[in-house]
Amino acid sequence: MTQTPPVFFLASAVFCLAIFLSHALSGLFIRLAHRFNLLDYPTSRKRHKRPTPFLGGAAVFLSFWSVVGGGLVAAQVWGASPFSLIPRVLGIFLGSLVIFGVGLVDDKIGLTPLQKLLGQIVAALILVGFGFSINLVSGLGPFGYLVTFVWILLIINAFNFIDSLDGHCAGIALISAGTLFWITQIVGQPLTGFFIAAFVGALAGFLPRNFRPAKIFLGDNGSLFVGYMLAAFTLLCRYQREGFVDATVFIPVLIFGIPIYDTLSVIAVRLRRGVVPWEGDRNHFAHRLVKMGMSDRVAVIFSYFIAVTLGLSAILTTQVTFFGAALIGLMFLSILGVIAFLEYYAAKRERIIERLAKTKRRRREDIVRFEEEGLR
């Protein structure tokens, strides 16, 4: 008679295997990308100085799904009967295949914003079509599917937006996924935790090659896939522990605090400048931290620190009273307030420096003009 292994043991095994596989595939794809010219070339809008492979998303995608597939087969052999999950897993896989393909095509030949959006819509509709629905607020009825659809698109684009500095998107995604895994263990969702553990491992194996100076980028194929998977995981997770207040609506917002803040603030900045929201620039959250005087590496680590703080707050929210949840929400708003103030101060300082530089240039021009007139 076979003995079913503990699900946590299986999650630990897939986590370790995913780390190894992702790290190995990242190294392989670095060599293949240079050989077949699958490289992201520097431009005036980008910060890297040399052509860099953009196949990091492929390493994360393949390592994650290989380990999940192997884990499902192993669980069946041990008698765990995980194949009741196949319909939902199939829905996630098909959607991820679409979003990964869209990103890969965009990285190689370039897509218009509308074409990328259409690909995202198809991926989101696949999830909704397989019965995924947001479970944060009860009583939404059919309207819940529309909210789910919008939520998926928001998180996909939010993680695409924060892929601005080396290690930024992958690291924030790793922290977010780790937070979701922890929550599944608290609320008693070990099977969901199994899938998330494989994803955490895939990101952890990739990140060392992506941290500054990056040897390989996630690319759009990776950032879109990462955002899609995290959106799907939030739809799989429960957030309320029995006996505690239902404050679930705060939890995903806390977990994705930085990507959501970055997306909304960047759109606001672009609209204020009279630029369309989908036009790329260097006004992302991480870029603004650099403008405040941080190095690229420090800006990324600072973002990690905020993400960990918000992640711990999300975990605590699963086990608090309503008053406690309100305090955590207040803390979240306070953190955003401090960041917004620092950014405002930095932007004001930058404008003053620009004004002084213009004044200095004018004075130099006046002096040159005066000297030329004197020589005449």
pLDDT of amino acid 274 = 78
> What confidence tens digit (pLDDT) does each residue in 24-52 have?
999 999 999 999 999 988 776 667 778 89
Cβ(268)–Cβ(219) below 8 Å: no
Sequential DSSP letters for 27-88: HHHHHHHHHHT-EE---TT---SS-EE--HHHHHHHHHHHHHHHHHHHHHHTT--GGGGHHH
Judge whether 262 lies within some domain.
yes
Judge whether 30 lies within some domain.
yes
Cβ(255)–Cβ(180) below 8 Å: yes
Q: Percent of the chain beyond pLDDT 90?
A: 48
pLDDT of amino acid 308 = 94
Count the domains in the chain. 1
Judge whether 304 lies within some domain.
yes
Judge whether 97 lies within some domain.
yes
Judge whether 374 lies within some domain.
no
Judge whether 2 lies within some domain.
no
Write out the two tokens for 341: 């103030």
> What confidence tens digit (pLDDT) does each residue in 88-128 have?
899 999 999 999 999 999 999 999 999 999 999 999 999 99
Judge whether 247 lies within some domain.
yes
pLDDT of amino acid 201 = 98
Cβ(223)–Cβ(103) below 8 Å: yes
Domain region containing 305: 7-367
pLDDT of amino acid 247 = 62
Judge whether 372 lies within some domain.
no
The pTM score is: 0.87
> What confidence tens digit (pLDDT) does each residue in 50-78 have?
889 999 999 999 999 999 988 887 767 66
| Ranges under pLDDT 50 in the chain | 1-4
- Which candidate, 60, 369, 102, places its Cα nearest to that of 202? 60
